[in-house]
C-alpha cells in the first residue's frame, strides 16, 4: 500500500474532492478533536504529548457526510465521527492518519410537531441547545445527561446515552423513533419514524451504541413530551444502603416511574449533602408530569421509602441537586490537584446489587493510593439498577497514576462480571472496556459484531480500534 | 447441485446425523406444520392442495436445534422454524424440500425470579401456558395477543408481536431482556439479561422480528410484573371516530398508560357492542396495576374522554370484551360460509390517523364484492396508534376471492404508504407485505437487511423467501 498522504496534502485532496467542504488543519483545531474526555488518554497525553488526527472536516449536510465517507472508503482512509468529545471511554482517540468528521456544523432543529410529539434534529446540535429550543416551544425530551452542555444529540445515539431522568423518560434507544444514517460506502439509509412497526428487525438498533463503527447519524427523529406541569420530590436519609436499594426496588416493582431515583452511599451523601447526611445514605426522588399523576406517585413512593426506614429531609437537597447537578470538577482539574479519579458505571439486578456495591467499594479502596471508592444509583428498572462508582487516589507520578487507574478499573469490572452484572450501563465500551466485551456478550457476540463490521464497512474506515477488531 | 434427497431419505439421514432427534414424516404431521394461518395460502391450498415441507424435526434442546442447523448449513437444506403456526402473513409456507424445525417440545418455564422480575423460558412454550404458569406464582408478563392460546413465546419474539395490553406493558421488544439464539452455522449466541447496557449495539434486536431468517431463539428471558392488584375501566360511546382518536391522543400526551385502549368505529362497535353502540364508535379503556395508580389514572382518563364528548356506558361492555376477546371466527370458518375476510393492521401518527382510517374504509368498501371495511385502534403511543382494519367480502369462486383479497390489501397498504404510516404494526412482513417493504425502509434498508442475511446465513438456509431475497 502506498504511504498515506501528509496532512496538508490530505486537506488539499479533500478540498478538491468535495468542493465547499469546511476543512480544519491547524494543530490546535485538529488536536482539540483528536480525543474524547477519557482520563487515561488525558494522562497519556501529559506523558507522551497529545494525540492528533491528520485533519478535521466539518460537513454541513448529510450529502457532505456521505461524500466524505464515499471518498474515505475509496481511499481506505480512517474516519473518526466526532460530536463534542465528552465521551469518557476513549471511543475517540486518533492514531495519526484519520480524518475527524466533526458534525458540529449540522446543528439545526429541523422540525417540532406538537401533535405527534416528535422533533427532527441534526446530529451536531448541542444537547442543552436542543432542550432549550424544545422548552421555548413548551416541550422536553426528558434526556438530561450530566454532559448535556458538552454533548450532541448524535453523540447520545452513537453511545447509547442515558439521562438523569431516565427512570421516567427512558434511555436514548426509547427516544429515537427514526433516523438517517450515512454508511461507510457513502450511501444514506433512512429509517422512518413511526409509532411502532413490525417490518423486520428494527434496524436503527444496529447504530444506537455502535460508537461510530457502523455508520454516522445524519438526522434524528426523537419522541418528545409536553413540558411537565409539575415537579414534586424529596430527599430522604436511609438507615442503610441496602434499605435504600430495597425502597427503589419496591418503587419499580409497583410500577411507579419517578424521573429522579438517586441513592448515594454514605461517602457520597457526606460529600454532596453535608447538612442532612449525618453518616447515612441519601435518596433523592422526584416525580414530574401532570398534576394528578405526580401527586399520586409522590405520595405512594414516599410511603414505600418510609416503610424502609427512610426519613423525609424535605425538598431543599433535591432543589440544590437540580440546580448544581452538572457542575462537577473536570478530570483535568483533579489531575492538576495531584489526584487520579474516574467514574465507572455498571448495572446489575436487584438480587445482587447490594453485594456488588459493597464488594467493589471494599476492593477498590484496597488498591494502593486509593483513598475513596464510593457510588450512587441513578437509573432504575424493574430488574435492577446501575451503580455509578467513583474512585479518587493520590496520583504520585503519572506512570503510577495510570497503574492505579488500570487496577481499579480491572477490579471493578471483573467484580461486576463475577457477580453477573453488565460492564457498562451507559458510558459505552470505547477502548477502556474493550478487553472485557467478550465476557459480556460472549465470543459469539463479539464475532457477530465483527461480522456486522465487515459487512457494513468492509474497508474498515469507520472509527477503527473501537468496540471490536476485524 | 445434486438432487435433494426424498423425504424418507432425509428422515433417515437426520436420524443418523442427530441420534435421538424426534422426526415426523407422516403426511398429516408434516402438512400441519407447512404453513401458518395466512388466509391467502389457505385459499390457495383449497385450489391447489396443501403445501408440504419434506420432514418435521422436533428438537428437545438448544443443542439439538444447533445440531440441526449445523447439518442444514453443511448440506444447504432450507429450514423453517415453527412455533404454533398462528402467523397471518405467510412467514411459514413450505415449498417442498424444507425441514420444519418445530420448537414445540422445548416448552419449559426454566426460572421465575420474583426479586428481579424475570422469567426464563424455552421458545416453544404456548403463550397461554406461560401466562398461566406466571399467574400461579403471582406474576404476569402482560403480553396478551389475541393468539395467546395459539402462539408460542418464541414466535412472539420472531415476529415482533404486540399484546392487547401493550399500551401499559409495551410490546415484545420491551419485554425481552436476554436470549439465546442458534445461528445458521449451528453456533449458539447468548445475550445476557441485564437491566440495561451500553455494550455496543443491542444485538437481540437483530433477531426480534427477523421472522426466522437470521437465527432461531432457543431461550428467552422476559421482564415480568407482579399480578395487578386492581383492574378498573369503562366503555364509552364517542360522538365521532375523530373524537375518540382525539381522546386517545390526549391520554397518551398526558403520560397515562392504560392497559387497554381500544376504539372501534361505528361498524365494529355495532358488531361487537350491539346494545350500547347506537351507531356510535365505542371506546374501551382499562387501567391495571396498584390501587393508587389505577384509581388516579382511571379518573384522569375518564375526564379526558368526557372532554371529547364521550358518554360513560359502564364497565359491563369492557367485562364482556375481556371474557370473550379471543373468541373470533377462524378464517377457515368464514371461507366455509362463502366469505373472504382478513385483517390488515398498520400504524400512523396522530395527525394523519383520522384521514387514514376514513380513506382506507372508503376505498376498501369500493372494491368489488366487499360489503364491509371497518377498523379499530388498539395500541397507542405518544406519536400515534395502530389501526386494525377488517374487510369482509362475498367469495364468489376462490379465484375471485383471491383477486378481491389482493386488491383490498393493495389499496390498504398503498393508502397507508401514501399517508406516511407504517405497513405493519405487529403482524409482520412474511410474504404478504414483502412487495412493499422497500417503500417502508427504502431500497437502502432492504439492501442492509439482505447484507445481514448474507452475513449471518451465507448458505441461505433459514426460512428462505421471507422478508428479503438474497
Contact criterion met (CB < 8 Å) for A425 and B116: no
The model's confidence at residue A314, banded by pLDDT at 50, 70 and 90, is: very high
Mean pLDDT of A6-31: 96
Grid cell 443418523 in the structure block, residue: B16
Of A424, A285, A421, A464, residue with least CA distance to A343: A424
Contact criterion met (CB < 8 Å) for B117 and A253: yes
Set of cell numbers at residue B418: 401514501
A-chain CB neighbours of B169 within 8 Å are: none
The pLDDT value given to residue A220: 98
Q: Is B20 exposed, middle or buried (0-12, 13-18, 19+ CB in 10 A)?
A: exposed
The pLDDT value given to residue B332: 85
Residue span(s) of chain A under CATH 3.30.70.3450 come to: 231-324
Question: CATH number for the B331-432 domain, one of 1.10.3720.10, 3.30.460.80, 3.30.300.330, 3.40.50.300?
Answer: 3.30.300.330
Q: Which of B201, B249, B379 sits opposite A205 (nearest CB)?
A: B201
As beta bridge partners, residue A235 has A284
Query: How high does pLDDT run on average in chain A?
Result: 96
CA distance B445 to chain A (A): 6
Contact criterion met (CB < 8 Å) for B442 and A256: no
Mean pLDDT of A369-396: 96
Torsion from C-alpha of B239, B241, B247, B248, nearest 10 degrees? 150
Q: Please give the share of chain B, as a percent, with pLDDT higher than 90.
A: 94
Residues 167-196, chain B, touching A (beta carbon < 8 A): 171, 173, 177, 183, 187-196
Q: pLDDT tens digits, residue range B35-59? A: 999 999 999 999 999 999 999 999 9
Of B188, B161, B189, B164, residue with least CA distance to B175: B161
The pLDDT value given to residue B359: 98
Q: Which of B117, B194, B455 sits opposite A451 (nearest CB)?
A: B455
The pLDDT value given to residue A123: 98
Mean pLDDT of B391-418: 96
B449 has a chain A CB within 8 A of its CB? yes
Residues 277-306, chain B, touching A (beta carbon < 8 A): 289-290, 292-293, 296-297, 299-300
Q: pLDDT tens digits, residue range A207-232? A: 999 999 999 999 999 999 999 999 99
Residues 66-95, chain A, touching B (beta carbon < 8 A): none
B-chain CB neighbours of A199 within 8 Å are: 209, 422-424, 428-429, 433, 437, 440-441
Domain A331-430 belongs to what architecture? 2-Layer Sandwich (3.30)
CATH code for the structural domain at A109-226:
3.30.465.10
Q: How far is residue B264's CA from residue B342's CA, in Å, rounded to a whole number? A: 17
Q: Is A111 exposed, middle or buried (0-12, 13-18, 19+ CB in 10 A)?
A: exposed
The pLDDT value given to residue B6: 84
A-chain CB neighbours of B188 within 8 Å are: 444
Grid cell 475527524 in the structure block, residue: A100
Helix H, strand E, coil C: the string for chain A is: CCCCCCHHHHHHHHHHHCCCCEEECCHHHHHCCCECCCHHHHHHHHHHCCCCCCEEEECCCHHHHHHHHHHHHHHCCCEEEECCCCCCCCCCECCCCCEEEECCCCCCEEEEECCCCEEEECCCCEHHHHHHHHHHCCEECCCCCCCCCCCEHHHHHHHCCCCCCHHHHCCHHHHEEEEEEECCCCCEEEECCCCCCCCCCCHHHHCCCCCCCCCEEEEEEEECEECCCEEEEEEEECCCHHHHHHHHHHHHHCCCCCCEEEEECHHHHHHHCHHHHCCCCEEEEEEEECHHHHHHHHHHHHHHHHHCCCEECCCHHHHHHHHHCCCCCCHHHHHHCCEEEEEEEEEEEHHHHHHHHHHHHHHHHHCCCEEEEEEEECCECCCEEEEEEEEEEECCCHHHHHHHHHHHHHHHHHHHHHHCCECCCCCCCCCCCHHHHHHHHHHHHHHHHHHHHHHHCCCCCECCCCCCCC
Best mutation target among A199, A381, A441, A470 (most B Cβ atoms within 10 Å) is A199
Instruction: Please state which of the ranges A68-82, A114-128, A277-291, B330-344 shows the lowest mean pLDDT.
Output: B330-344
CA distance B274 to chain A (A): 31
Q: Which of B205, B383, B454 sits opposite A205 (nearest CB)?
A: B205
Best mutation target among A198, A348, A385 (most B Cβ atoms within 10 Å) is A198
Set of cell numbers at residue B288: 391495571
Q: pLDDT tens digits, residue range A80-118? A: 999 999 999 999 999 999 999 999 999 999 999 999 999
CA distance A27 to chain B (A): 31
The model's confidence at residue A275, banded by pLDDT at 50, 70 and 90, is: confident
Domain B7-104, CATH class in plain words: alpha beta
Domain A433-470 belongs to what architecture? Orthogonal Bundle (1.10)
The model's confidence at residue A28, banded by pLDDT at 50, 70 and 90, is: very high
The pLDDT value given to residue B1: 45
Contact predicate A163/A196, CB 8 Å = no
Q: Please give the share of chain A, as a percent, with pLDDT higher than 70.
A: 99
Is residue B3 pLDDT above 90, yes or no? no
Q: What separation in angstroms does the CA of B449 have from each of A181, B176, B376?
A: 15, 22, 31
The pLDDT value given to residue A323: 95
The model's confidence at residue A328, banded by pLDDT at 50, 70 and 90, is: confident
B-chain CB neighbours of A249 within 8 Å are: 115
Domain A7-102, CATH class in plain words: alpha beta
Contact criterion met (CB < 8 Å) for B381 and A198: no
Domain A231-324, CATH class in plain words: alpha beta
Q: Is the ipTM of this complex over 0.90?
A: yes
Phi, psi of A363 (to 5 degrees): -70, -40
Mean pLDDT of B87-105: 97
A355 has a chain B CB within 8 A of its CB? no
Set of cell numbers at residue A221: 427523529
Domain B106-226 belongs to what architecture? 2-Layer Sandwich (3.30)
B138 has a chain A CB within 8 A of its CB? no
Mean pLDDT of A367-382: 96
B422 has a chain A CB within 8 A of its CB? yes
Domain B230-324 belongs to what architecture? 2-Layer Sandwich (3.30)
A456 has a chain B CB within 8 A of its CB? yes
Residue span(s) of chain A under CATH 3.30.465.10 come to: 109-226
Residue span(s) of chain A under CATH 3.30.300.330 come to: 331-430
Is residue B390 pLDDT above 90, yes or no? yes
The pLDDT value given to residue B260: 98
Tell me whether strands A79-82 and A99-102 are parallel, antiparallel or unpaired. parallel
CA distance B28 to chain A (A): 31
B-chain CB neighbours of A386 within 8 Å are: 195-196
Is residue B2 pLDDT above 70, yes or no? no
Grid cell 446465513 in the structure block, residue: B457
The pLDDT value given to residue B328: 85
Q: pLDDT tens digits, residue range B267-278? A: 999 999 988 988
Residues 91-130, chain A, touching B (beta carbon < 8 A): 113, 115-118
Residues 200-259, chain B, touching A (beta carbon < 8 A): 200-203, 205-211, 214, 223, 225-226, 249, 253-256
Contact criterion met (CB < 8 Å) for B196 and A171: yes
Is residue B172 pLDDT above 70, yes or no? yes
Contact predicate B383/B365, CB 8 Å = no
CA A374 to chain centroid, in Å, comes to: 20
B143 has a chain A CB within 8 A of its CB? no
Of B461, B469, B470, residue with least CA distance to B99: B461
Q: How far is residue A84's CA from residue A283's CA, in Å, rounded to a whole number? A: 32
The pLDDT value given to residue A1: 45
Amino acid at each position: 500500500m502506498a504511504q498515506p498522504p501528509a496532512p496538508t496534502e490530505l486537506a488539499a485532496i479533500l478540498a478538491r474532492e468535495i468542493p465547499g467542504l469546511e476543512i480544519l488543519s491547524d494543530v490546535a483545531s485538529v488536536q482539540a478533536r483528536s480525543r474524547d474526555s477519557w482520563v487515561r488518554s488525558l494522562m497519556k497525553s501529559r506523558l507522551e504529548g497529545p494525540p492528533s488526527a491528520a485533519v478535521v472536516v466539518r460537513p454541513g449536510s448529510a450529502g457532505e457526510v456521505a461524500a466524505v465517507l464515499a471518498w474515505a472508503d475509496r481511499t481506505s482512509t480512517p474516519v473518526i465521527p466526532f460530536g463534542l468529545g465528552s465521551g469518557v471511554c476513549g471511543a475517540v482517540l486518533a492514531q495519526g492518519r484519520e480524518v475527524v468528521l466533526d458534525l458540529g456544523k449540522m446543528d439545526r432543529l429541523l422540525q417540532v410537531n406538537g401533535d405527534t410529539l416528535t422533533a427532527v434534529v441534526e446530529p451536531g446540535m448541542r444537547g442543552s441547545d436542543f432542550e432549550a429550543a424544545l422548552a421555548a416551544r413548551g416541550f422536553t425530551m426528558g434526556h438530561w445527561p450530566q454532559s448535556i452542555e458538552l454533548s450532541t444529540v448524535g453523540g447520545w445515539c452513537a453511545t447509547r446515552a442515558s439521562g438523569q431522568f431516565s427512570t421516567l423518560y427512558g434511555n436514548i434507544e426509547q427516544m429515537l423513533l427514526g433516523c438517517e444514517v450515512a454508511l461507510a460506502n457513502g450511501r444514506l439509509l433512512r429509517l422512518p419514524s413511526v409509532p411502532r412497526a413490525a417490518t423486520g428487525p428494527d434496524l436503527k438498533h444496529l447504530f444506537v451504541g455502535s460508537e461510530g463503527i457502523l455508520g454516522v447519524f445524519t438526522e434524528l427523529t426523537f419522541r418528545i413530551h409536553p413540558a411537565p406541569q409539575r415537579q414534586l420530590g424529596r430527599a430522604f436519609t436511609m438507615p442503610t444502603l441496602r434499605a435504600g436499594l430495597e425502597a427503589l426496588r419496591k418503587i419499580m416493582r409497583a410500577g411507579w416511574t419517578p424521573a429522579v431515583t438517586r441513592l448515594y452511599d454514605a461517602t457520597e451523601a457526606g460529600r454532596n449533602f453535608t447538612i442532612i447526611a449525618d453518616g447515612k445514605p441519601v435518596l433523592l426522588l422526584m416525580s414530574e408530569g401532570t398534576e394528578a399523576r405526580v401527586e399520586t406517585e409522590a405520595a405512594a413512593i414516599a410511603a414505600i421509602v418510609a416503610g424502609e426506614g427512610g426519613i423525609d429531609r424535605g425538598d431543599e437537597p433535591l432543589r440544590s441537586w437540580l440546580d448544581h447537578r452538572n457542575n462537577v470538577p473536570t478530570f483535568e482539574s483533579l489531575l492538576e490537584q495531584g489526584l487520579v479519579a474516574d467514574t465507572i458505571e455498571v448495572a446489575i439486578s436487584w438480587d445482587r446489587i447490594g453485594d456488588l456495591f459493597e464488594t467493589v467499594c471494599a476492593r477498590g479502596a484496597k488498591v494502593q493510593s486509593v483513598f475513596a471508592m464510593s457510588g450512587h444509583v441513578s437509573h432504575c428498572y424493574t430488574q435492577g439498577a446501575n451503580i455509578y462508582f467513583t474512585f479518587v487516589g493520590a496520583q504520585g507520578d503519572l506512570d503510577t497514576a495510570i497503574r492505579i487507574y488500570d487496577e481499579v478499573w480491572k477490579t471493578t469490572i471483573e467484580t461486576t462480571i463475577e457477580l453477573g452484572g453488565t460492564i457498562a450501563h451507559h458510558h459505552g465500551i470505547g477502548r477502556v472496556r474493550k478487553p472485557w466485551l467478550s465476557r459480556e456478550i460472549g465470543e459469539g457476540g463479539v464475532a457477530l459484531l465483527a461480522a456486522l463490521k465487515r459487512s457494513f464497512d468492509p474497508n474498515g474506515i469507520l472509527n477503527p480500534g473501537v468496540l471490536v477488531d476485524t
